[in-house]
Amino acid sequence: MCTRKHLNYVVGLCVFLAVANITPASAQYSLSKTPTGFLYPTGSTDYSLTHDNTCSGFGATSPNMGLGGCYPFPNTYHNGYDITNQPLGTPIQMIADGVVTQISHSGWNCQYSRTTNVAVIVRHHSSDGLEFYALYGHLDISTVPYNILRADGTTSFTAGAFIGRVGDWCNGTHLHFGIYVPQWNGGQESLPYQAGNYDYDPNRIGYGMIGSEHWANFFGWAHPINFIEWKSPMNGGGLTSDARAKADMEQYMRNNTPYGGDPIESSFGSNLNWEPPWELRWMYFGYIFNGNQDYLFVAHATYSNDRTIRYVAYVDPFGTFRGWFPVPR
């Protein structure tokens, strides 16, 4: 894939597009959807942590594990992602069409909680057929709709369905968001659980945290934000190859480079007969460099015989070709 011939082709293409002055003004986004079509559970792309990832992000560890983490519960590590910038009462929505399979009542309150909290667990599918469960934790049970609380595992709900509102929590009000993939845990359909003999038993396995004796086994739990930003939902969110390429490029630039940038929608182009079976797509990303508006050229390659095999490359502000980088499947 990473041959001199390919490199020269892409750099030549970059020069051609730059000369053609294909640098329009701006891109359009949805404030509530991932680039791949999932809804953000809080209805906003602002899912930043008020603490750093070592305290409440996915995989955060307790200080006594000796791994530099500050997760506040001893002998445990975190198997979800705390969206901690949400005030009490923030409405939470279903990220995709799904079926409510369980209401979890244990572990979602603290000693001084002013609300009684639960977690709602919903079965979803991604567009590639992968079954997964989304867990929406620390919801005030008094705000969870009756049809959600009484769901028997057969009733379907649509993307954006109101699930409940964020409840109170001693260490800061937040939504605990988790994604469990049975296929990534030996096909175990039920969420993994193993009760401890006492609080914070290092051998326990919970819905929101895992005992330190199991480090670093996540038992099928995935980083939920990464998951919904890389995967697409089964219904209404399946992507065309063009949309998939755009999403791949945007996610790579935002997550793996210091430049980020806003995709310039009208600069998108493609050569589907680039070097069969490879397809080439590209677009510009606008960003600020040294205080000035500038543009980065980003390229995307798809292996048409297996569209899960995709690569991203870009030319940095200094004219250096960077790539090809595999897109996570």
Residue 209: give its domain's CATH number.
Answer: 2.70.70.10
Higher pLDDT, 258 or 225: 225
- pLDDT higher than threshold 70 for residue 266: yes
Instruction: Tell which residue, 10, 5, 3, 1, has the closest CA to residue 320.
Output: 10
Token digits for 68?
């530099």
- pLDDT higher than threshold 60 for residue 154: yes
Q: What pLDDT is recorded for position 242?
A: 82
Q: What pLDDT is recorded for position 32?
A: 67
Token digits for 321?
């070709």
What does the longest C-alpha to C-alpha distance in the chain come to?
68
11 & 156 share domain: no
Cα 143 to Cα 89: distance, rounded to the nearest angstrom: 9
Q: For residue 164, give its domain range.
A: 53-230
Domain membership flag for residue 236: no
Domain membership flag for residue 40: no
64 & 191 share domain: yes
260 & 202 share domain: no
Q: What is the separation of C-alpha 159 from the centre of its chain, rounded to a whole number of angstroms?
A: 16
171 & 97 share domain: yes
Q: What is the mean pLDDT of the chain?
A: 83
- pLDDT higher than threshold 50 for residue 322: yes
Domain membership flag for residue 225: yes
Task: Give the end of a domain, one of 230, 260, 276.
Answer: 230
**What is the three-class DSSP state of 241?**
helix
- pLDDT higher than threshold 90 for residue 152: no
Domain membership flag for residue 186: yes
Q: In Å, what is the CA distance from 21 to each residue of 16, 266, 286, 314?
A: 9, 12, 13, 17
213 & 80 share domain: yes
Token digits for 6?
């390919």
125 & 70 share domain: yes
CB atoms within 10 A of CB 8: 11
Least reliable range by pLDDT among 131-135, 209-213, 292-296, 299-303 = 292-296
Cα 9 to Cα 315: distance, rounded to the nearest angstrom: 13
Q: What is the pLDDT of residues 89-126, one digit of tens each?
A: 999 999 998 999 999 999 899 888 899 999 999 999 99
Q: Which residues, 6+ apart, have CB-to-CB distance to 26 below 8 Å?
A: 262, 264, 286
* Backbone φ/ψ region at 220: left (φ over 0), alpha (ψ -120 to 50), beta: left
Contact between residue 270 and residue 242 where contact means Cβ atoms under 8 Å apart: yes
Question: CA geometry: angle at 64 spanning 62 and 66, to 5°?
Answer: 90
Domain membership flag for residue 157: yes
Q: Which residues, 6+ apart, have CB-to-CB distance to 287 below 8 Å?
A: 259, 260, 261, 262, 293, 294, 295, 296
Cα 313 to Cα 278: distance, rounded to the nearest angstrom: 14
20 & 80 share domain: no
* pTM exceeding the 0.85 threshold for the entire prediction: no
Q: What pLDDT is recorded for position 3?
A: 37
Q: What pLDDT is recorded for position 235?
A: 62
Token digits for 319?
């004219």
Token digits for 12?
């030549």
Confidence band (pLDDT; 50, 70, 90) for 65?
very high
Task: Give the end of a domain, one of 230, 254, 280.
Answer: 230
- pLDDT higher than threshold 60 for residue 5: no
Higher pLDDT, 2 or 218: 218
Instruction: Tell which residue, 184, 177, 123, has the closest CA to residue 154.
Output: 123
Q: What pLDDT is recorded for position 49?
A: 58
221 & 164 share domain: yes
Token digits for 218?
């996540």
Amino acid identity, residue 325? F
213 & 279 share domain: no
Where is 269: in which H helix or E strand?
A: strand 269-275
Confidence band (pLDDT; 50, 70, 90) for 202?
very high
Place of tokens 């809804």: 39
Contact between residue 98 and residue 168 where contact means Cβ atoms under 8 Å apart: no
Domain membership flag for residue 188: yes
61 & 176 share domain: yes
Cα 89 to Cα 247: distance, rounded to the nearest angstrom: 31
Domain membership flag for residue 9: yes
Q: What pLDDT is recorded for position 18?
A: 40
Q: What Rg value do the Cα atoms of the chain yield, rounded?
A: 22
Confidence band (pLDDT; 50, 70, 90) for 36?
confident
71 & 212 share domain: yes
Q: What pLDDT is recorded for position 29?
A: 28
Where is 83: in which H helix or E strand?
A: strand 81-83
Highest-confidence segment of 58-62, 152-156, 251-255: 58-62
Task: Give the end of a domain, one of 202, 230, 258.
Answer: 230
Confidence band (pLDDT; 50, 70, 90) for 140?
very high
Domain membership flag for residue 274: yes
Average pLDDT over residues 20-44: 59
Higher pLDDT, 98 or 30: 98
Average pLDDT over residues 209-219: 95
Higher pLDDT, 244 or 202: 202
- pLDDT higher than threshold 70 for residue 240: no
281 & 192 share domain: no
Average pLDDT over residues 213-220: 95
Higher pLDDT, 277 or 219: 219
Amino acid identity, residue 30? S
Least reliable range by pLDDT among 168-172, 185-189, 237-241, 325-329 = 237-241
Q: What's the full length of the chain, in residues? A: 329
If one counts the domains in the chain, the total is: 2
